[in-house]
Amino acid sequence: MRWYRSLVAYLDERERGEALALFRIFVGLALVVDLGATAPDGVLSAIWIDIHHGGYRPLGFGTFLVQALGGPTPTVIWGLFGATVAAGLAMIVGLGGRFTALIAAQGFLALSGLNGHTRGSYDALLSNLLWLNVLANGTATWSLDAKLFTGRWSTDRLVTSWPRRLGILQLVLLYFSTGLHKISAHWTPAGGFSALYYILQQPSWHRVDMAWAAYVYPLTQLGTAITWAFEVGAPILLFMLWRERRRGRRNNYRRWFALVGVLLHTGIFVFMEVGPFTVIIWSLYLCLFTPDEVRRLFDATVYLSPAEGRSCSSA
């Protein structure tokens, strides 16, 4: 039962709360941005309210929470929208701990699940990250909760590391799964690595007309190959983190992974309109960094002085 004792000890490991606090702030921000964008221009009323009350299609009784509240009527939907956005704002400032994360998670799940035809993968990703915030103690520091309970915005309180590690696992699963789904010949040499070029020609997703990509076609081929290899090779990150832990010294793989991933999503953000996906996935990248690294970055940018005496933790 040595493995079991190791597992118990692994799940009991603790670290300072900065990384999870930053994760909480970004997820709250992503939620507010995502939902906030549906309010103007009549999008929310059209897609999440039943046809009998002004929406464009029948939504039945709606998701279980909407059903419990009385169905997809304007009062219920706008009320739920308000409560969820308020919970998202509370997450940003760090008020209410896991409880506000739970309200945000359930509110978002109820709204985004109402109309499957207007849903994107980013909805599922955001739901997952909200649930991780329910599991994690994200308001131990850099939060209104910390200020209320200790009198300071920043505390040294330790939190369990496993929710952040579940975030890393989620990131790897997302990439690996999406890589396995890419069965089109266009993603492989059989289709000349032309997937990225042709995706950029789809009017549903591009930001501006991308016909000019024809003149840099070899670059799009390289981008296709890198994207596919990065996604399918994502589990290597888990192996390298395990190796890092076993050897007790850092390797640079995690940073290279983050660099390639962030560049990839920056490219997507610049050339394509895929909703709040980029913001949401960037918040998941924060889980790759230890609290010491987050703290060092914070100190370097805010106080312009190095951090001292931080506890050591592994990714």
Partner 1 sequence: MRRIWRHLRVPLVALHVVAIGLMATPDPGPGLQRSAWKNPTVQAEIQAWAERLNGFGVEVTPKALEAWAWARAKALHRLRDRLVRPFRPYHDYVGIRQPWNMFVAPHRNPAVLGVDILVDDEWTPLYRTRSDVYDYRRAFFDHDRIRAMLFRYGWPSYRHTYNDFARWLAKQIAVDVPEATKARIFYTRYRTRSPDEVKDGTEVKTVRDQYVIFDLAVFRPEPSP
Segment 195 to 234, residues that bind partner 1, using CB under 8 A? 195, 197-199, 201-205, 209, 211, 213-215, 217
Q: Should residue 35 be labelled a site residue for partner 1 when binding is judged by CB under 8 A?
A: no
Q: Should residue 108 be labelled a site residue for partner 1 when binding is judged by CB under 8 A?
A: yes
Residue 52, classified by CB atoms within 10 Å of its CB into exposed (0-12), middle (13-18) or buried (19+), is: exposed
Look up residue 151 and give its two tokens: 């009198």
d(CA 218, CA 4): 51
Q: Should residue 51 be labelled a site residue for partner 1 when binding is judged by CB under 8 A?
A: yes
- Give φ, ψ of 272 to 5 degrees: -130, 155
Contact 100, 107 (CB under 8 A): no
d(CA 88, CA 27): 8
Minimum CB–partner distance for residue 18 and partner 1 (Å): 22
Residue type, 294: V
Minimum CB–partner distance for residue 58 and partner 1 (Å): 8
Minimum CB–partner distance for residue 43 and partner 1 (Å): 5
Q: How many CB atoms lie within 10 A of CB 5?
A: 9
For partner 1, the binding residue among 274, 298, 299, 310 (CB under 8 A) is 274
Q: How many CB atoms lie within 10 A of CB 187?
A: 21
User: Left, alpha or beta for 178 (phi > 0: left; psi -120 to 50: alpha)?
Assistant: alpha
Q: Should residue 173 be labelled a site residue for partner 1 when binding is judged by CB under 8 A?
A: yes
Pick from 114, 134, 119, 120: nearest CA to 64: 114
Q: Which range binds partner 1 by CB under 8 A, 13-21, 69-77, 171-179, 242-250?
A: 171-179
Look up residue 170 and give its two tokens: 């989620």
Query: To the nearest 10°, the Cα dihedral for 168, 36, 63, 75?
Result: 160
For partner 1, the binding residue among 52, 60, 68, 119 (CB under 8 A) is 119
Q: Which range binds partner 1 by CB under 8 A, 21-29, 109-117, 138-146, 302-310?
A: 109-117
For partner 1, the binding residue among 18, 20, 38, 85 (CB under 8 A) is 38
Q: Which range binds partner 1 by CB under 8 A, 45-53, 93-101, 151-159, 251-259?
A: 45-53
Q: Should residue 6 be labelled a site residue for partner 1 when binding is judged by CB under 8 A?
A: no
Q: Should residue 105 be labelled a site residue for partner 1 when binding is judged by CB under 8 A?
A: yes
How many degrees, rounded to 5, is the angle at CA 305 between CA 17 and CA 29? 40
Ranges within 132-151 binding partner 1 (CB under 8 A): 135
Name the residue nearer to partner 1 (CB basis): 231 or 293.
231
Q: Which range binds partner 1 by CB under 8 A, 139-147, 194-202, 292-300, 302-310?
A: 194-202
Ranges within 243-272 binding partner 1 (CB under 8 A): none
Matching residue, tokens 């953000």? 269
Window 56-75: contact mask with partner 1 (x via CB under 8 A): xxx-----x-----------
Window 83-102: contact mask with partner 1 (x via CB under 8 A): --------------------
For partner 1, the binding residue among 73, 128, 143, 155 (CB under 8 A) is 128
User: Which DSSP letter does residue 299 get?
Assistant: I
